[in-house]
Amino acid sequence: MGNPTAAHAGSALALLALVAALALKWGEARADELFSAEGGVFHDNNLSRALSAADIVGDTALNAAASAGFLFAPGDRDIMTLTGDLRGTAFSRFHGMSSAALGATASWTRKFGLGAFAPWARISAYAADVWYDENVRNGWRTGVALRGGERVSERLDLSAGGSFERYRADSATAVVPGISGDAFTVLGRNLFARADYALAERWTGFGAVAGRWGDVTASTRIGPEIFEYSNAIAADPAFGSDYFAYRISGATTWEFLAGASYALGDRSSVNLAVSRALTYASGGIEYQSTRVNASLVFSY
Amino acid sequence: MRASSSATRSIALACLALLSGPAGAAQLAASVTDQDGNPLADAVVVAVPLQGVALHPPSAGREIVDQINQEFVPRVKPVFVGTPVFFPNKDNIRHQVYSFSPAKQFELPLYAGTPAKPVVFDRPGVVVLGCNIHDWMIGYIYVSESPYFAKTGADGKIVLGDLPAQAYRVRAWHPRLQGPESATQQTADLVGSGRAELSWKLVLKPEIRIRRAPVPGMRGHY
């Protein structure tokens, strides 16, 4: 195989070329430009997803994201979007976890009726090429989601859905003979529900709950659990030379999210959100993490 | 300022004259504020002659509500009953304008440019406009049974000139008006001085409209 970085760049460029070609074709049929940008800071108190207190490391990161593309309305009840997405995250301590991602998202929304209160369903798919400072984690993130919702009043908007997600690591270097080194490749299924409530003219509160079933990757110093319950082990220099990442299958994660958003105008908002994730796996493995995220979001 | 279509006004005034209403040109000035005393834009003031309104004349005028940058422009449009209104789409994407309001229920299938036929607003009342593609778009057509109406600007003021000198019931409406419009009704007698001034301090409800500003994780519903 050739240079992985070149392969990454090539595949990402091919993806963007596809997005651009489709956008140009559909753009001729009256498309609306979409652009959104987001910048912010977050803190994760268990970035390593470790079990024991000695291995738990938290960190703060700056993140920025931008999406640009087109919105089409091919029919009276249908809306399609196609965007190219760019995201970057820079951690303050664990630079190996800093990453950049380049990808694309496509969605199709069908409204079952006329007006803002008509129920709707949306299918979306995305793919992104992800580069980490520690390139052992590099890979492709892909997923497909089905979501439906209904605005039940001018204040309350409800939605729920499910998704499949996959992260496919580019490389897998075994560190333990006989055990796969593909610790960063994971597959998961999600179910989620969300409510958004207009608290005031500019304030919106939101809350969500999600369940995830599938593989998880945790990092720790060498310990018995990584041999007993994992099916892949790899070195994880992002957290230190003595850290190992291991993959557990069949894990369940419950995530709870609450936040508030203040509209600065028609196109921008400042937001604060807190999420708490609880992961359980066989053998009594259990870890928790809390993330606090502040962001400024702009959309055009 | 009167009905914005001069043709509509002319026909309406002609009809009023035929109804042998009082002659003379009178003027009604009005100011509208919110509950805090701030000038209120986009309030509609309607003067209804106490002696009755003209029969609804066929309207030769036409009005326009644009769609620009995914908003209705103007957001509030008062028209005389029977007025045809065009909805030109000046955006680069198609819109689908609709209303569920009892005063006028209609749907313009997804379109670009200007639909060939206007929508005729033939019943008095408030017609709330929406776009099925862009849920945050909201606009209002105020269909007046009287040809004497005006919309306040940023200073919250209007002047209705060239009114027949008679007595009027005058009321004010705003999209965020708390309570019934009928509760705003006042009387103005223009027979004597030929001029009257009215003012309203309207109590407004919070504007909880479907938000256009982004909310993390929702991506504008798209």
The phi and psi torsions of B221 (rounded to 5 degrees) equal 70, 5
Q: Which helix (H) or strand (E) holds A79?
A: strand A78-91
Q: What is the pLDDT of residues B136-186, one digit of tens each?
A: 999 999 999 999 999 999 999 999 998 999 999 999 999 999 999 999 999
Partner residue opposite A79 with nearest CB, options B206, B207, B222? B222
> What would you measure as the largest C-alpha separation in chain B, in angstroms?
64
- When the pLDDT of each residue in chain A is averaged and rounded to a whole number, the result is 89
What's the sign of the alpha-carbon dihedral B184, B20, B78, B111? positive
List the B125-131 sheet strands across, edge first: B76-80, B138-144, B125-131, B97-99, B106-107
Tell me what the mean pLDDT of segment A235-251 comes to: 92
Any A CB within 8 A of B205 CB:
no
Of B132, B206, B207, the CB nearest to A111: B132
Global confidence as pTM: 0.84
For chain A, state the CA radius of gyration.
20
Residue A115 DSSP SS3: coil
Question: pLDDT-derived band of residue B222, with 50, 70 and 90 as boundaries?
Answer: very low
C-beta atoms of B216 and A38 within 8 A: yes
More confident residue, A253 or B213: A253
Q: Which residues of A touch B209 (CB under 8 A)?
A: 154
Which phi and psi angles does A16 have, rounded to 5°? Answer: -65, -35
pLDDT band at B131 (very low <50, low <70, confident <90, very high): very high
Q: Is the pLDDT of residue A50 over 90?
A: no
> How do beta strands B119-121 and B83-86 pair?
antiparallel
**In the A/B pair of chains, how many CB contacts fall below 8 A?**
108
Alpha-helical segments (H) within chain A: 4-27, 225-228
What is the pLDDT at residue B14?
39
The residues, any chain, with a CB within 8 Å of residue A76's CB and separated by 6 or more, are B96, B109, B110, B132
d(CA A275, CA A292): 7
pLDDT, tens digit, 9 for 90 and up, residues A213-222 = 999 999 988 7
Q: Does residue A5 surpass a pLDDT of 80? A: no
* Percent of residues, chain A, with pLDDT higher than 70: 90
| Nearest Cβ partner for B213 among A75, A79, A269 | A269
> Closest by alpha carbon to A102, among A149, A135, A73, A138?
A138
Q: Do A208 and B217 touch (CB under 8 A)?
A: yes
Q: Token pair 């069949």 is at which residue? A: A250
Find the helix or strand (DSSP H, E) in which A80 lies: strand A78-91
Token code pair at residue A183? 């610790």
Cα A211 → chain centroid:
14
Alpha helices in A61-173 (DSSP H): none
Q: Are A78 and A122 in contact (CB under 8 A)?
A: no
Q: Which CATH superfamily is domain A4-299 in?
A: monomeric porin ompg (2.40.160.40)
How many other C-beta atoms lie within 10 A of the C-beta of residue A283? 11
C-alpha to C-alpha distance for A123 and A135, rounded to whole angstroms: 31
* All domains in chain B, ordered by first residue: 6-202 (2.60.40.420)
- Delimit the domains of chain A by residue range: 4-299
Q: Which of B93, B100, B219 sits opposite A30 (nearest CB)?
A: B93
- Looking up tokens 């449009």 gives B77
Question: Over 80: is that where the pLDDT of B15 sits?
Answer: no
Question: Given an 8 Å threshold on Cβ–Cβ distance, is A264 in contact with B91?
Answer: no
Burial zone of A14 (CB within 10 Å; 0-12 exposed, 13-18 middle, 19+ buried): exposed
